[in-house]
């Protein structure tokens, strides 16, 4: 008997999502096709609460600076700082201004109050300290890694002193100059000093790993994990800055790929400590290659963090893509009926999760076309990617957010 499209949908609930999957994944990735809409973040938060209460999930990771995110994690687990302080300093990409993100942090802190350490929820940013206009100085991550090691291992094993790092780093504004994104000649990433820093960072990371048993014994697994994050961030930033100074045609393709490689490294580390909900743009979480046009340059194509992590984890990685009907305040109106979004928009419910494998069966020989986005900030669902998506979260209409970023 033929499958009707309406028979492929379920309520957006943790139980319904889990029934779509062969097993409970270590990383459940929920993508979004646009940023800054609190409706989508509210949906994310409700799903996370259900995953915590019904499925034993203990971590949420979002597309924000991994180092800044440590401030948020410290607050929600121990109460260090204030909510205002962590919203100001614990997020990148403007996420701290979101009412939904503020409510998420408040709820996690309230949930953790009075619970034993083993039952507390964790927060993580998994993006690098990067913006589309440039990258941070490696100073914070590099000096934090050096400081962690200097306090705990024989000084003779350290490849350099803190003073040497400071001299090689120089002024931070050399690294953060936004002109370097458009003009490789403005980047310090291939200077002699940067080259020395890359060698020192590599040696510091190697020392961290060779001293693993000792370091965990004298600190904790959490402290060692944090040091690993500093190591990944320091080496990743130095590599990113190196390629910012590149003049070859593959420069931008390499840069977007390196960003997602940093994301993937952080996600694989999070997967080691138990099941987590991951939230980011669909383009960072999908299994198929991602494509983006930057400024007036040809489109770039790269393997996303999700594609890399899926290759490592197999069925322990699951991907839900969010698709939208309208974002009228951004000029995104009713989708054409011959697109996936148009077919889903015709159904009566306001939001639901779609069983993608059953949707493919229901479509049969029909081949929906891609939806053309009238707004650069919204990426429509590519129907060619359906086979690589475990489920589609469909939201019919997205009203204007309570706080605009």
Region 365-391 average pLDDT:
94
Give mean pLDDT, residues 190-219: 98
Contact assessment for residue 128 and residue 236, using Cβ atoms and an 8 Å cutoff? yes
Output the pLDDT for position 83.
Answer: 98
Residue 2 vs residues 60, 268, 349, 356, 386: alpha-carbon distances, Å = 38, 40, 22, 15, 19
Q: Over pLDDT 90: what percentage of the chain? A: 93
- What are the pLDDT digits (tens) for 22-59? 999 999 999 999 999 999 999 999 999 999 999 999 99
Q: Residue with structure tokens 């949707």?
A: 359
Averaged confidence pLDDT in the chain: 95
Check whether 404 has a pLDDT greater than 80: no
pLDDT tier at 391, thresholds 50, 70, 90: very high
Residue 96: what pLDDT?
Answer: 94
Instruction: Confirm if 189 and 245 have CB atoms less than 8 A apart.
Output: yes
Q: What confidence tens digit (pLDDT) does each residue in 239-279 have?
A: 999 999 999 999 999 999 999 999 999 999 999 998 999 99
Give the per-residue pLDDT at 295.
67
Question: What pLDDT does 247 receive?
Answer: 96
d(CA 28, CA 135): 28
pLDDT at 1: 36
pLDDT, one tens digit per residue, over 54-89 is 999 999 999 999 999 999 999 999 999 999 999 999
pLDDT digits (tens, 9 = 90+) for 215-245: 999 999 999 999 999 999 999 999 999 999 9
Neighbouring C-beta atoms of residue 226, cutoff 10 Å? 18
Burial 265-280 (b: 16+ CB within 10 A, else e): bbbbbbbeeebbbbbb
The pLDDT assigned to 403 comes to 53
From the list 265, 277, 288, 240, the residue with the least C-alpha distance to 50 is 277
What predicted TM-score, i.e. pTM, was given to this entire model? 0.96
Contact between residue 251 and residue 190 where contact means Cβ atoms under 8 Å apart: no
Beta bridge partners of 300: 292
- Give residue 402's pLDDT band: very low, low, confident or very high (50, 70, 90): low
Rounded Cα gap, residues 55 and 28, in angstroms? 12
Average pLDDT over residues 384-404: 90
Strand residues in 111-243 grouped as ranges (E):
122-127, 130-131, 134-135
- pLDDT tier at 134, thresholds 50, 70, 90: confident
* Ranges of H-type helices in 151-191: 162-169, 173-176, 179-182
Exposure class string for 165-200: b at 16+ Cβ within 10 A, else e: beebbeeeebbeeeebbeebeebbbebeebeebbeb
pLDDT at 294 over 80: no
**Average pLDDT score over residue span 178-191:** 96
Nearby residues of 233 by Cβ (< 8 Å), 6 or more positions away: 66, 67, 128, 129, 138, 141, 262
Mean pLDDT of 322-343: 97
The arithmetic mean of pLDDT across residues 6-34, rounded, is 96
Q: How many C-beta neighbours within 10 Å does residue 233 have?
A: 26
Residue range 93-108: mean pLDDT, rounded: 96
401 pLDDT band, cuts 50/70/90, is confident
Residue with tokens 């309406």: 6
51 three-class SS: helix
């Amino acid at each position: 008997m033929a499958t009707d499209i309406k028979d492929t949908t379920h309520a957006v609930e943790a139980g319904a999502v889990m029934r779509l999957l062969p097993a409970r994944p270590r990383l459940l990735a929920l993508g979004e096709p646009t940023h800054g809409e609190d409706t989508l973040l509210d949906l994310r938060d409700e799903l996370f609460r259900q995953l915590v209460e019904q499925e034993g999930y203990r971590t949420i990771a979002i597309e924000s600076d991994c180092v800044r995110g440590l401030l948020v994690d410290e607050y929600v687990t121990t109460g260090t700082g204030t909510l205002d302080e962590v919203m100001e300093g614990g997020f990148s990409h403007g996420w701290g201004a979101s009412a939904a993100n503020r409510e998420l942090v408040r709820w996690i802190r309230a949930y953790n109050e009075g619970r034993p350490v083993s039952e507390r929820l964790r927060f993580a940013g998994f993006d690098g300290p990067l913006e589309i206009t440039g990258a941070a100085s490696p100073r914070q991550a590099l000096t934090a890694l050096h400081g962690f090691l200097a306090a705990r291992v024989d000084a003779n094993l350290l490849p350099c002193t803190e003073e040497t790092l400071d001299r090689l780093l120089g002024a931070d504004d050399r690294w953060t100059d936004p002109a370097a994104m458009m003009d490789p000649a403005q980047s310090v990433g291939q200077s002699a000093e940067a080259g020395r820093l890359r060698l020192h960072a590599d040696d510091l990371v190697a020392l961290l790993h060779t001293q693993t048993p000792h370091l965990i014994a004298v600190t904790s697994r959490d402290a060692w994990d944090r040091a690993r994050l500093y190591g990944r961030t320091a080496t990743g930033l130095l590599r990113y800055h190196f390629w910012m100074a590149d003049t070859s045609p593959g420069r931008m393709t390499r840069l977007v790929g390196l960003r997602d490689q940093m994301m993937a490294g952080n996600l694989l580390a999070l997967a080691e400590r138990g099941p987590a909900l991951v939230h980011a743009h669909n383009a960072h979480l999908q299994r198929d290659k991602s494509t983006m046009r930057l400024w007036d340059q040809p489109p770039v194509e790269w393997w996303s963090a999700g594609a890399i992590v899926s290759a490592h984890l197999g069925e322990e990685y699951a991907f839900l893509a969010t698709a939208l009907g309208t974002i009228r305040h951004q000029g995104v109106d009713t989708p054409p009926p011959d697109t996936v979004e148009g077919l889903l928009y015709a159904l009566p419910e306001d939001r639901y999760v779609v069983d993608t494998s059953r949707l493919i069966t229901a479509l049969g020989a029909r081949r929906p076309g891609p939806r053309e986005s009238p707004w650069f900030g919204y990426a429509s669902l590519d129907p060619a990617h359906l086979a690589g998506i475990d489920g589609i979260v469909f939201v019919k209409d997205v009203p204007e957010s309570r706080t605009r970023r």
